[in-house]
Structure 1
Amino acid sequence: MSKAVKLYQISRKVHKWAELILSVVFMFVALTGLLLIFYTPLGLGTPLKTGTKADLSQSVTIDKVVSITTSQGLPGVTSIEDIFRIEWTPSENVYRVRLANNQEVQIDASTGEVLSTKPDYTGLLISLHDGYFFGNWYRYSALTLAGVSLILLSFSGYCMVGYPLYKRLMARKNEKNLRFSDQNVH
């Protein structure tokens, strides 16, 4: 059996088993990615409000943002430890405070007015999508294997498509060479 045929057979086996084993991880990452793309229309996130336009020097301090957030009476929110992330969006002049309990508080960066307090699942979706939710064991084992497998799947797929094309091209080339040599003999 030629090396090319062996490579083709090995490529098919690698492709099949890698896909079967890791398709669960690929599907999970794809599903959470789609949910992140369409999170606002699906009601999983809160659209960003618009704050009052003002100079940066008039912005509410982060200490004040924490104080405003913890004073909203939201369940499970009593201190800075309950805050997952604070984002500032300059174009809208809004602080978006994402809480550990999948809540979100939007605060006008100039006035300190609370613009919105609603559930927001984007933080959960992001942590599921990037593997942070499951811990480092998942991120550094399952997602690493998924990435390496995607490379192997791509390579084995190229081999499965490329090998038959290569064989056809070689057969045509040999056929043309035979015809050319037959014409020169006569």
Structure 2
Amino acid sequence: MSSTSFTKRIARWNRLYHRWIAIAIAIPMIFIITTGIFLQIRKPIDWIQPPTTKGSQKYQPTASLEQILTQVKSVPAMQVTGWEDIKLLDLRPNKGIIKVRNHDQLETQVDAATAEVLQTAQRRNDFVVKMHDFSAWHARLWLGLPVRVGFLVLFLTGVYLNIKMTPVRLKTLFQKSSKRTTQTAQTATTNVTTHIPQATAKDGRPLRLRLKSWLLTYHYWLGWVVMIPWACVIFSGLLLQVRYEVPWVMPVLQQGQGTVPKIEFPQVLETAQQLPEYGVEEWKDVWRVYVYPNQGVTTIRAENRQEFQIDSSTGDVLQVATRRTDWLEDIHEGKWHDLNLWLFLPIHILSLFLWLTGTAVAYNR
């Protein structure tokens, strides 16, 4: 087999894979992109995610767990009677606040120093995240994962096809440009006044073929625009899809001995300080602290991506491991310097158009 025929065969198989995978995952991918756009705008839109308030003091979480529970009980909407009604406590040392969530995703923010209630609001983005990865329907592995693998294959075959088509596209673009510069006013007038049947375009092609050509042209050029951001989104999204199964991505959450947290926040920091090799010396080294009452575990997420899992009842260190989930989420959403709003959000919107044009072409070939 000659190298030319082999190359043509590879190109033909690439087109076939690209087309049929696009058709197979069209609907779930439109859903993923749409929910992704929704999540990109969660920070500016309070209805999606309540804004994070600021406490009276940064890096001073002195409010006791009992004070926090008592204050949250005083909020009727939370419907909290004990620790079993609380899903988690989320301490933000640099903001001086603690976010307390119940099992219905209602969130109360309290001052980390005084335990004063600062805000109560519904948190809707968590459910959208579950929809985004299909865990809301217990389909994260058997549907969400295959769709994202298909998306990766589609991306790779699309890159190949774009590179292969570049010489042809550039040649066509150059020819059209040359033709426009040499076209006379008389020819232009003739084209306008010539009677053409309604079922055909100006060049004599059926309107259906002209529409397909238009879709392919825009699909090609938009592919180059979204290529690099999409690479970040696809590879990080694929790893996040299996975060519960791959400890390298996210350490397995351990189970503590009790369901009533007893270890106060200052004690949590002291426990981490006893392991200096992991780099936590003060509150400024801590990104967040999560308390899971039902799991009996308190976790410290350090700025250096180390995660300490501590028994909430005894204070014993259950596990210390690198947590890459938060870093991958930053890549997935393009959070650096607000890239998620001025770059990744427009790219997601363009991607939705790209997906719709590609699907339309695939169905009409």
Superposed pair shares fold, TM > 0.5: yes
Residue 351 (structure 2) aligns with: 150
1:88 to 274, 291, 301: 291
1:31 aligns with 2:235: yes
| AA at the equivalent of 1:20 | W
- Cα shift at 1:3: 5.8
| AA at the equivalent of 2:337 | G
Measured on the aligned residues, the alpha-carbon RMSD in Å equals 2.4
Which blocks of at least 5 consecutive residues in structure 1 are unaligned? 166-186
Tell me if the contact between 1:45 and 1:121 (Cα under 8 Å) persists in the aligned partners. yes
Which blocks of at least 5 consecutive residues in structure 2 are unaligned? 1-200
- Cα shift at 1:45: 3.1
| AA at the equivalent of 2:320 | T
Give deviations 1:152-177, integer Å, cap 9, x for gaps: 11332344256x48xxxxxxxxxxxx
Give deviations 1:97-124, integer Å, cap 9, x for gaps: 1111121100111111111122222222
Residue 41 (structure 1) aligns with: 246
1:107 to 295, 310, 323: 310
- Cα shift at 1:64: 2.2
CA distance in 1, matches of 2:278, 2:298: 20
CA distance in 2, matches of 1:94, 1:36: 22
1:61 aligns with 2:276: no
How many residue pairs match? The answer is 160
More displaced stretch, 2-11 vs 29-38: 2-11
CA distance in 2, matches of 1:161, 1:120: 40
CA distance in 2, matches of 1:100, 1:122: 13
Partner of 1:74: helix, strand, or coil? helix
Residue 276 (structure 2) aligns with: 73
Give deviations 1:44-100, integer Å, cap 9, x for gaps: 43211110124x3x5222232223223321343211111112122233210111111
- Cα shift at 1:11: 1.6
- Provide the TM-score with structure 1 as the length reference: 0.73
CA distance in 2, matches of 1:108, 1:42: 19
Partner of 2:277: helix, strand, or coil? coil
Partner of 1:66: helix, strand, or coil? helix
Tell me if the contact between 2:248 and 2:322 (Cα under 8 Å) persists in the aligned partners. no
CA distance in 2, matches of 1:75, 1:60: 20
CA distance in 2, matches of 1:145, 1:9: 24
Give deviations 1:25-51, integer Å, cap 9, x for gaps: 112211111222334536243211110
| AA at the equivalent of 2:254 | K
1:135 aligns with 2:337: yes
CA distance in 2, matches of 1:14, 1:35: 30
- Cα shift at 1:148: 1.0
Instruction: Work out the percentage of aligned pairs sharing the same amino acid.
Output: 22
Structure having greater relative contact order (Cα 8 Å, sep ≥ 6) = 1
CA distance in 2, matches of 1:141, 1:105: 34
| AA at the equivalent of 1:8 | K
